[in-house]
């Protein structure tokens, strides 16, 4: 019990006094809908007369419940009129979940398009218990969010607090100076010079994939599921290039056993995509993160207790345990090799990072736990985004045979020029139509449709165009209060007709073979990649976007020469963090598939 005392004290500090509760109840009662007005009457029972609140044993259950649920809820319900009330937005928000079930759901595409078309670059939505939040894609506002005021609009506490117990203190789970220190150490690791040395590994793995395609099409056209094939390829590429580890994931398609670490990695997105865990991420994890409890034994205790009736959470914990155990094993082996001087010629990201970290000054060095955290962070970040983007490209090429034939002709011409083997980084870069196909797909269908930020202080967001407020006035800036969730619509900014033209919603690779419209340049979109927000921008831009781009080029170059792709079953794209394909209108158990008919190309 003594070991829990610091935790109890932190929770107790958040618990309101009886006077605070009574004072706020009057404000709450006047705003509660009749259907939930009974909620207020239950609050006094949390502090019955004569209760002993000095005993840690008696404090734990009540403190946790009041600090994490009741008190934040009461504060939200008592909120008076705010500056965001004048921002227009859609109706239809439920009292408890607000617009969240419409924003974060597999079939959310229509809702996002409606909000963008009806309200323009900024709109007001509601989160849990009708807390105001913003839906933004105005380019000037994005410039401030991602560049000028990026330290004001940080990753949300819910995002960081959820990632921390899964990955540890890695790039996806840190903020502020800690994150900047990690980026400073990792940016050189992902340099073009290092990636050029990895090209042979890319081709070795994609040649294995090609052999599977040759085997499967030996007797004529056949339907192949692209989803596991592209995922396995992406995982093996990042395993070898990122960690210096061979998991032989490509061979799983031929019946080979799958490593437990790869199984665990594949389970993360499906297990994390549930309404219950969305509520936990939004309402509970921010408080745990602020209390510094999201990466402690306390968090494991909570997961163990909640996981008793909730199977999905138990499986998620098991996956995290496997990932951590494997990461520690990889790290210890690398650390010994570096110390013994046996790792000097290894070109994988982890080896480079550990060698550079050992030479860094004391203030710049990353502690062991932060290096370990990068292992699963790098694997996860490079897995679904690239593999699902490849599925999307192959799907689009199957639907657009003229584009597929044009790309195949360019690849075959390159083989005549450079030889029938692997290409260098610069030679791949010379294939202009291949580049155009990838850019257009990442523009029209960004793997991540949205990202979120949260204001850590009051701020002003300027807009590129004036908006009309609820009282009919015109304004070209919006006052954003502290702790406001901002949903950035990547899909909307990448497909804005005012920027990309009337054909913005059409997939046209040829648009990249000529100068882009002046509106694209003038918009000053703050993305790190080709006037797009696909890989976002600023200090939290995707650190491996060049790696992802190169992987897509190598896979397409290897496959399109010898194989023709035709449509199979109808494919539906699900917005579950990353746009994920499924042959079913409603994705069952979050199992992705992307069946296409594959045959030998003439």
**Where is the binding site, in residues?**
542
Non-local CB neighbours of 453 within 8 Å, separated by 6+ positions: 145, 153, 154, 155, 156, 485, 486, 488
Beta strands 153-154; 450-455: pairing state? antiparallel
Characterize 249-272 residue by residue with b for buried, 16 or more Cβ atoms within 10 angstroms of its Cβ, and e for exposed.
bbbbbeeeeebebbebbbbbbbbb
- CA-CA distance, 494 to 496, in Å (whole number)? 6
SS3 labels along 395-451:
HHHHHCHHHHHHHHHHHHHHHHHHCCCCCCHHHHHCCHHHHHHHHHHHHHCCCCCEE
Other C-beta atoms lying within 10 Å of the C-beta of residue 116: 19
**What gap in Å lies between CA 316 and CA 299, rounded to an integer?**
13
153 contacts 145 by C-beta, under 8 angstroms: yes
Strand partners of residue 529: 532
Q: What is the CA radius of gyration of the chain?
A: 26
Residues paired with residue 576 on neighbouring β-strands, in sequence order = 578
Please name the residue that has the structure tokens 């939505």. 125
Return all residues near 541 (Cβ < 8 A) that are at least 6 apart. 146, 527, 528, 535
Angstrom distance (rounded) from CA 301 to CA 516: 54
Burial of 419 (0-12, 13-18, 19+ CB in 10 A): exposed
What does DSSP assign to residue 4?
G
For residue 579, what is the DSSP state?
Answer: E
Distance between CA 124 and CA 126 in Å, rounded?
Answer: 7
* Cα 108 to Cα 104, 270, 454, 533, 537, distances in angstroms: 6, 17, 21, 19, 24
Q: Which residues contact 9 (CB under 8 A, 6 or more apart)?
A: none
Cross-strand pairs, 354? none
Binding-site positions for heme read 542
Which ranges constitute the DSSP H helices of 17-130? 18-29, 38-41, 56-65, 71-77, 100-103, 109-119
Three-state DSSP at 130 gives helix
Residue the block writes with tokens 């009974």: 38
How do beta strands 485-489 and 132-136 pair?
Answer: parallel
């Amino acid at each position: 019990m003594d070991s829990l005392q610091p935790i109890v004290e932190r929770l107790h500090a958040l618990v309101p006094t009886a006077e605070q509760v009574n004072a706020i109840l009057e404000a709450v009662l006047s705003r509660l809908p009749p259907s939930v007005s009974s909620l207020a009457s239950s609050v006094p029972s949390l502090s019955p007369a004569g209760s002993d609140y000095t005993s840690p044993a008696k404090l734990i259950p009540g403190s946790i419940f009041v600090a994490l649920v009741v008190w934040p809820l009461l504060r939200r319900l008592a909120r008076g009129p705010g500056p965001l009330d004048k921002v227009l937005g859609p109706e239809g928000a439920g009292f408890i979940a607000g617009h969240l079930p419409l924003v974060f759901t597999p079939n959310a595409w229509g809702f996002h398009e409606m909000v963008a078309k009806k309200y323009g670059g900024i709109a007001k939505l509601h989160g849990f218990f009708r807390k105001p939040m913003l839906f933004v894609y105005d380019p000037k506002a994005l410039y401030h969010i991602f560049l000028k005021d990026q330290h004001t609009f940080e990753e949300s506490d819910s995002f960081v607090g959820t990632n921390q117990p899964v990955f540890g203190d890695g790039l996806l789970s840190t903020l502020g100076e800690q994150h900047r220190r990690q980026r400073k150490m990792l940016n050189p690791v992902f340099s073009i010079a290092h990636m050029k040395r990895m090209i042979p590994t890319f081709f070795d793995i994609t040649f294995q994939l090609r052999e599977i395609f040759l085997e499967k099409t030996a007797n004529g056209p056949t339907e192949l599921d692209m989803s596991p094939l592209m995922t396995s390829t992406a995982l093996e590429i990042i395993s070898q290039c990122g960690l210096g580890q061979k998991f032989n994931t490509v061979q799983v398609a031929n019946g080979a056993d799958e490593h437990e670490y790869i199984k665990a990695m594949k389970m993360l997105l499906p297990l994390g995509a549930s309404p219950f865990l969305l509520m936990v991420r939004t309402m509970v994890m921010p408080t745990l993160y602020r209390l510094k409890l999201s990466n402690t034994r306390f968090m494991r205790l909570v997961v163990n207790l909640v996981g008793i009736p909730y199977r999905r959470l138990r499986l998620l914990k098991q996956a995290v345990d496997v990932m951590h155990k494997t990461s520690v094993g990889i790290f210890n082996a690398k650390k010994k090799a570096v110390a013994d001087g046996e790792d000097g010629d290894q070109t994988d990201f982890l080896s480079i990072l550990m060698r550079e970290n050992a030479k860094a000054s004391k203030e710049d060095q990353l502690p062991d736990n932060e290096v370990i955290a990068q292992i699963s962070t790098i694997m996860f970040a490079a897995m679904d985004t690239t593999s699902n983007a490849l599925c999307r490209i192959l799907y689009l090429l199957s639907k657009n045979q003229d584009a597929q034939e044009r790309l195949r002709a360019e690849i075959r011409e390159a083989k005549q020029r450079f030889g029938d083997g692997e290409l260098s980084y610069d030679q791949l870069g010379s294939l202009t139509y291949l580049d155009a196909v990838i850019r257009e797909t990442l523009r029209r269908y960004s793997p991540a449709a949205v990202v979120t930020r949260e204001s850590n202080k009051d701020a002003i967001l300027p807009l590129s165009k004036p908006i009309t407020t609820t009282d009919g006035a015109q304004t070209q800036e919006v006052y954003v209060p502290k702790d406001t969730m901002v949903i950035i619509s990547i899909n909307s900014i990448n497909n804005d007709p005012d920027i990309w033209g009337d054909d913005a919603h059409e997939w046209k690779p040829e648009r990249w073979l000529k100068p882009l419209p002046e509106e694209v340049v003038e918009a000053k979109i703050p993305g790190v990649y080709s006037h797009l927000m696909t890989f976002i921008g600023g200090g939290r831009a995707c650190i491996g976007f060049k790696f992802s781009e190169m992987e897509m080029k190598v896979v397409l170059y290897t496959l399109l020469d010898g194989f023709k792709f035709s449509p199979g079953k109808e494919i539906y794209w699900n917005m579950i963090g990353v746009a994920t394909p499924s042959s079913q209108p409603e994705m069952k158990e979050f199992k992705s598939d992307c069946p296409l008919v594959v045959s030998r190309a003439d």
